[in-house]
Structure 1
Amino acid sequence: MATFAVHYSYGPAKAAIRDRLRPDHRRWLGEENKAGNVLLVGPYGDGTGALLLVRAEGGLDGAEAFIANDPFIAGEAVDAVRVLEWTQVYGPFTES
């Protein structure tokens, strides 16, 4: 299973949508974290987006299909998404 860095970009125009969807978004993140698919997640300090580190099968297409289930993505609350395969050199996330 590959690991991907997912960058969400937020603008002020969709803030109300994000506020409405945030409980579902966080519930989904929590469930996927417990399942081992979301390794870490958090917003950028300046409020312009967030970083998710996820595991997915099927390469880039699999990662994009996985994040399509995020209520923020399904609800069009994110202005832009960038998904890049990521390789850990040091740190806590080891392959199982």
Structure 2
Amino acid sequence: MPKYVAEYTYLPDTAALRDEHRPAHRLWLHDGHEAGIVLAVGAFADGSGALVIVNADDAEAATEVLAHDPFALVGAIDETRVREWNCLYGPFA
């Protein structure tokens, strides 16, 4: 199955909203990981966003999966960029 990398961009004015909804966001990520949809996730050290790697049939399906992230549902993500990722080596190859 193809892999897609989503880059979330956060702005400082949505920090409180992310803090409020972080437990639901992390549960959604956990459940997605357990289901084999979310392969890896992590925030950027500078707080500007996060990276999410997902399994999906195509970019539209990946975008639909990410639309159900609680952060997305409450408007805590300022921008999402989704691109297909061709992993050559490593645990996701």
Instruction: Give the C-alpha shift of residue 93 in structure 1.
Output: 1.4
CA–CA distance in structure 2, aligned partners of residues 43 and 88 of structure 1: 20
Q: Which residue does 2:92 correspond to in 1?
A: 93
CA–CA distance in structure 2, aligned partners of residues 62 and 71 of structure 1: 17
Letter in 1 for 2:31: E
Q: Indicate the percent of aligned positions where both proteins have the same amino acid.
A: 45
**Structure 1 residue ranges (4+ consecutive) displaced by more than 4 angstroms after TM superposition:** none
Q: Which residue does 1:22 correspond to in 2?
A: 22
Q: Does 1:69 align with 2:68?
A: yes
What is the SS of the residue equivalent to 2:45? Answer: coil
Q: Which residue does 2:2 correspond to in 1?
A: 2
TM-score by length of 1: 0.94
CA–CA distance in structure 1, aligned partners of residues 80 and 27 of structure 2: 20
Instruction: Give the C-alpha shift of residue 46 in structure 1.
Output: 0.5
Q: What does residue range 46-61 of structure 1 map to in structure 2 within 5 Å?
A: 46-57=46-57, 59-61=58-60
CA–CA distance in structure 2, aligned partners of residues 81 and 65 of structure 1: 12
Q: Which residue does 1:79 correspond to in 2?
A: 78
Q: Once superposed, what is the RMSD of the aligned Cα atoms?
A: 0.7
TM-score by length of 2: 0.97
Instruction: Give the C-alpha shift of residue 76 in structure 1.
Output: 0.6
CA–CA distance in structure 1, aligned partners of residues 32 and 59 of structure 2: 18
Q: What does residue range 27-42 of structure 1 map to in structure 2 within 5 Å?
A: 27-42=27-42
Instruction: Give the C-alpha shift of residue 55 in structure 1.
Output: 0.5
